[in-house]
Structure 1
C-alpha cells in the first residue's frame, strides 16, 4: 500500500469492514476495537488525540457492525474469526505490529489478539474488560451476577423484540442507566435498529451473535499475554466484578500496569483523555 493511501474498507472472506484510518501514515500504528452496541465512533474523542501525537490510528467497525460484514452463521462470530479480522486489517494497512486497544467486547478480542497473534502486537491497552480467564475465575465471586444479562442475550429473537420495542426504549434504558450520555445512546440505538439488507442479518441480530456464538464449540481463547499491557477500568463499572479485575494480573506475563478510574463502563466516550494518556504511556515491545 502506498504511504499516502488511507483505508476506508477492508475485505476478508467476502466480508467488507468499514475502517477509519487517520494520523501519519508512517506513524506507529494503533488499532481501536469497540464493543457492544458501539461502533468505531466510540473513539471519536480518542482517535484525533492519538493522531495528533503521531500515531497512525485504525478504527474498524467490527464483524456484525459493518453493514457489509454481517454473516448469517453463528460460527462466523467465534473469537478466532474476530481475531483474524484484526490481523486482516493489519495486513491491509501494511502494518507489521500495532498497539491494540479494546473496550468491552473489543477488549476480549484485544486480549486474544495479544496472546494468540503476539508477533503482530507491540503493546496492549484494554479498557474495562478483564482477561476472559480472570472473568471465569471470578464467576462465583460476583462476576456471574454481573454477567447475567448474557444469558438473556443468547435467547433467539426475544432480545431483539424487547430491546427495540417502542423506539428502542429498553436498549436506551440499558445504555443510559449504565452511564452512557444521551448523544451516544441515540446513535447506537439508531445503528442497532437498522433492518436486514439483502441476505445479511439485521444490525442488532448480528451484534448479538457475538454473545450467541459463546455457545459454539471452539477451543480458541485468550491465553497469557507477554507484551507490555495497560489495563484501565472504571471502579464503578456495573458489568465487571472487582475479583475479575484483580485476577487479570495472573494472565499477563509481560510488563503490566493497572489504571483505576473513578468512572463507569463507557471509557472511550466518557474518559477520552485518560484513555489517550494510558495508550501513550504504554511502552512498546522491542523488535
Structure 2
C-alpha cells in the first residue's frame, strides 16, 4: 500500500490541492484483483465508514462529508470505484458486474483489517451499497443510501411506471457500443457537465469542481469504465440475493431528482427491516453537493445510534 497526501501533486497528472485542506491520505489498495485509489482519513482505530460515489463522479464527491465524520471520531475510506479516475479500469463489460463491485468493498474492509463497516452510497454507489447489504449482510453495521433505489424497487418501477421508464432513457442509450464514449468526449465533456450542472441549481458545481471532474473523465479508459457499469447491469443481471435488508438503513432523497421518482424512496424503505426515510424538498439528485451540511447531520445521527 502506498500513501501520499491528498493535496500533494505527484506523477504525470497532478491533482490540484483541495480548496479547504483535509487531513487525509491518498492510498493504493489492491482488492478483489483490482487496484483502487482510496482516500483515507481519521483515526485508524475509529469505527469504519466507507463512502461510495456514483456516476459520473469520483471520491471528490464526498469531500464535504469527510471533515464532519472524522471530527466525530470515524475512520473514513472513500474509494474511486473500479473504472473511475485513478483506480484501475479492467477491460470488458463483465468486469463491472454488480457482485464484483460489492466484492471490491469487502476487499477494502479487509485492507483495513476490518470485517464490518458502516456503508454509505450515492447514485451507483448506493446501488453497490444495497447489493452489499443483501449479499454480504455480515459486513454491514449501518447502511445509508442517497438517491439510489433498492434494485427490486427500481425494476418494478421500470415495468409499472411509464414516467420512470422515460426518465431512465439514458441507461438504454449507454448500451450502444462506442458511440456514447464519443458523445461524452465532445466539447470538453459537455454532456457530462450538463448531467451535473443541468440537473442541479446554479452554483452547485463550481468551475473548480468541473475542472476536477474533467481531469477524472479524461484519464485513459475512464469513460468506457464508467459506462460499463450500466452495460454490465443490463447484460449480466445478477442472481438476485434476498430482497430484505437487515442492517438499520437511512434513505435520503432529494425530491427534485430528474432521473428517479420520489416514490422509489418509499418503495425502497419497505425492503428494510429497520428504515428511516428523509426527503429533502427542493434538493436535486446531487445531495452531497447541494445539501452537504444536512446530509452530514443525518449521517452522524444515523451512524451514532446504538
Aligned pairs for 1:165-184 within 5 A: 165-179=186-200, 180-182=204-206, 183-184=208-209
| 2:271 equivalent to 1:251 | yes
TM-score normalised by L of structure 1:
0.90
The CA distance in 1 between the partners of 2:134 and 2:26, in whole Å, is 26
Higher RCO (CA < 8 A, seq sep 6+):
1
Q: For the structure 1 residues 86 and 174, does the alpha-carbon distance in structure 2 shift closer, same or farther, using more than 3 Å as the test?
A: same
Shift of 1:224: 1.5
Count of residues paired in the alignment: 275
- Contact between 1:176 and 1:185, CA under 8 Å: does it hold in 2? no
SS in structure 1 of the partner of residue 270 of structure 2:
helix
Aligned pairs for 1:201-220 within 5 A: 202-220=221-239
SS in structure 1 of the partner of residue 295 of structure 2:
helix
Shift of 1:185: 2.9
| 2:113 equivalent to 1:89 | no
Q: For the structure 1 residues 224 and 284, does the alpha-carbon distance in structure 2 shift closer, same or farther, using more than 3 Å as the test?
A: farther
SS in structure 2 of the partner of residue 239 of structure 1:
coil
String of CA shifts for 1:43-79, please: whole Å, max 9, x gaps.
1110111000111101111010153410101111000
After superposing on structure 2, the runs of 4+ consecutive aligned residues of structure 1 that deviate more than 4 Å are 283-286
The CA distance in 2 between the partners of 1:14 and 1:123, in whole Å, is 26
Gaps of 5+ in 1: 197-201
TM-score normalised by L of structure 2:
0.85
Q: Which residue of 2 aligns with 1:52?
A: 71
Q: Which residue of 1 aligns with 2:45?
A: 26
CA RMSD of aligned residues (A): 1.9
The CA distance in 2 between the partners of 1:64 and 1:276, in whole Å, is 27
Shift of 1:242: 2.4
Q: Which residue of 1 aligns with 2:16?
A: none
- Contact between 2:97 and 2:238, CA under 8 Å: does it hold in 1? no
SS in structure 2 of the partner of residue 282 of structure 1:
helix
Q: Which residue of 1 aligns with 2:170?
A: 149
